[in-house]
Structure 1
Amino acid sequence: MCERCGPAVGAMEEQRDAGLGGPSRRGLILGAGAGLGVLLTGLPVLTASAEAATLKDGRWCNPARGRFPAGGHYGASRGGYPHAGQDVTNSTGTAVYAAAAGTVVRRGKGVLTGRTGNGLVISHGSGTYTYYGHLSAFRVPLNARVAAGQRIADMGATGNVTGPHLHFETHTGRLGSTTDPVSFLAARGVDLGGGWPALNPGAAGATVKVIQHLITQRGTALVADGNYGPVSVRAVKKFQSAKKLVADGQVGPKTWKSLVYELRRGGSGAHVRALQVVLNKHSAGLAVDGGFGAVTNTAVRSFQSANRLAVDGLVGPKTWEALVG
């Protein structure tokens, strides 16, 4: 977990970034312990379920797999300062991904007031930022444009910590105005630390292409254009009805579990294209040819290793969950 590193982020951070432009589900979350100290401001309140639903648009994803340590939750006491983020614990070297597309605006040691160790800040535009702390390695340079799901760093234990983990923060309105990362991502259909995502009609991006390829493999041919529009929604509802699921068009945990296939080397088809698309979302750089050959097998094993999964080349539910989450 994070130890207390210093004073709160305040107006100074906002001033430093002026003109940058451009862009519980775990019982342990309520524990107490040591961590990074910053003031909590700008807590968002969703006024209606419809508003929350519109946020599940496929633009956000899980930044790292792991567990929530006791006392690593947002708002935990840190010797007079509340904890500004959520800790996600795993071993050093675990992959860290951009939670959404944006620009790396800070990179290095102590890049925010009160933070210790190696960190990155990504600006997502409209005053929204994410912070990734205690990193063991950087995989993108300062000022880089990054895509959602792109590998940006490795988890580590740099700075004032008790063990390896990712300290993850979300800031809205301005840099320094933190929100609870768990609820922030949940409103966007993402389960921080690991879990199946939820996407609603109107979503777009690589994960929508995954859905379209999988539905095609299930017997309803779709154009994999990455836009979850009326044609794709109808196909998903048809699939949900056939599987005796709620036919609401939302692709959530139950639909994902029914939709994915178990894949291994030697397979071919649209479901393999789905696999290749989502591996590319995580920086694999594969040709999307629908053939599960040696190159795709290597990419699967590399992803499994980086996310601390069983490295067997078998793409089952655990690997799919990590890939699409």
Structure 2
Amino acid sequence: MAATPSDLVRERSGLSRRVLLTGLGLGLGVAAVGLAPGAPKASAATLKDGRWATPAQGRFPAGGHFGAPRDGGPHAGQDITNSTGTGVYAAAAGTVVRRAWGGGFPGRTGNALVIAHGNDQYTYYGHLSAYRVELDAEVSAGQRIADMGATGNVTGPHLHFEVHSGGLGRVTDPVAFMADRGVDLDGGWPRIDPGAGGATVAVIQHLMTQHGHALPADGKYDSAAVDAVKRFQEAEGLEADGQVGPATWPKLVYALKQDAKGDHVKALQTALNKRSAGLAIDGEFGSGTTKAVRAYQDLNRLVVDGEAGPVTWRALVS
């Protein structure tokens, strides 16, 4: 898909032309700017706050890691391989500031998007087969923004995912950056800490209510919700640390299929809506929810059975 004049690079968020030009020589490497260590880090509890999400489901291909050797310099991102047409999602809320071939960077190829997340943090999504958002669009974490593809100079379909932290052009290891924020780019369960907020917290609250710990689904992981999670963890023989992570999620979710009713179905509908399903949160697993589950499974190359098992849950909340 060729870029139109309106798709060309725009300067956003007070960025000077000088800052934008920092990354113009990047190509698929980082020789022009070096490997930035990332933005100053707060504590793990403040970073694993539910604001970040996995951009795509797939696998890490050999040689697709950050810093891998390339002709133009070290690889600037992490590749995630799956079929053409696999869903690509916003890693966090923000504004689409570039929608162009190579993201507007000379040396890069393929359809690409760049999202500005504030605080001098950006994410780059490359080799896309289709755009699902326009330039200047405001997007939410987990929203579908594009389809995976093989446009540009590639050996096969994949998402080339970058994180720019500290300014546009200052790339950092996306696997480590996202892990610090509770996201496993390789497809694992997320980690949500006390003080977090957003849709994934609302999913947790609905699930906790189904388990008998009545909580408002307000998306705020406050002290009451943390105390309830700790009691749940203790009852399940888990470490009662209040973090909802890889040990807690499998105990928390339910295997669900059509005709199920309850707060666990509200949790599923909330998770599907984070991935752009647009469902009513009514707690009834009817034909509409079944259709949404099947569509999500198909889009992300999961087993398409219309049932929400551990694999589907993990992909949805990751």
Q: Normalised by the size of structure 2, how large is the TM-score?
A: 0.90
1:26-45 residue pairs with structure 2 within 5 A?
A: 36-39=28-31, 40-44=34-38
Partner of 2:107: 114
Please tell me the root mean square deviation across aligned C-alpha atoms, in Å. 1.7
Contact 2:38 2:166 (8 Å CA) reproduced = no
Note the C-alpha offset of 1:208: 0.2
Aligned residues, how many? 297
Match of 2:14 among 19, 29, 34: 19
1:290-305 residue pairs with structure 2 within 5 A?
A: 290-305=283-298
Partner of 1:24: none
Once residues 267 and 307 of structure 1 are traced to their aligned partners in structure 2, the CA distance between those partners, rounded to angstroms, is 23
1:129-148 residue pairs with structure 2 within 5 A?
A: 129-148=122-141
Once residues 93 and 129 of structure 1 are traced to their aligned partners in structure 2, the CA distance between those partners, rounded to angstroms, is 23
Note the C-alpha offset of 1:173: 1.1
Partner of 1:70: 62
Note the C-alpha offset of 1:184: 0.3
Q: Normalised by the size of structure 1, how large is the TM-score?
A: 0.88
Once residues 130 and 239 of structure 2 are traced to their aligned partners in structure 1, the CA distance between those partners, rounded to angstroms, is 43
Once residues 55 and 113 of structure 1 are traced to their aligned partners in structure 2, the CA distance between those partners, rounded to angstroms, is 33
Note the C-alpha offset of 1:20: 5.7
Once residues 132 and 288 of structure 2 are traced to their aligned partners in structure 1, the CA distance between those partners, rounded to angstroms, is 22
Deviations 1:90-124 (A, max 9, x none): 00000000000000000021222321010000000
Partner of 1:97: 89
Contact 1:53 1:187 (8 Å CA) reproduced = no
Matched residue type, 2:35: T
* Structure 1: unaligned runs, 5 residues or longer: 1-12, 22-34
Match of 2:182 among 178, 189, 201: 189
Match of 2:118 among 109, 125, 138: 125
Contact 2:96 2:115 (8 Å CA) reproduced = yes
1:232 and 2:225 matched: yes
Q: Structure 1 stretches (4+) deviating beyond 4 angstroms?
A: 15-18
Partner of 1:216: 209
Once residues 255 and 306 of structure 1 are traced to their aligned partners in structure 2, the CA distance between those partners, rounded to angstroms, is 27
* Structure 2: unaligned runs, 5 residues or longer: 1-8, 17-26
Once residues 170 and 185 of structure 1 are traced to their aligned partners in structure 2, the CA distance between those partners, rounded to angstroms, is 9
Once residues 196 and 122 of structure 1 are traced to their aligned partners in structure 2, the CA distance between those partners, rounded to angstroms, is 24
Note the C-alpha offset of 1:225: 0.3
Once residues 126 and 285 of structure 1 are traced to their aligned partners in structure 2, the CA distance between those partners, rounded to angstroms, is 29
Once residues 201 and 153 of structure 1 are traced to their aligned partners in structure 2, the CA distance between those partners, rounded to angstroms, is 31
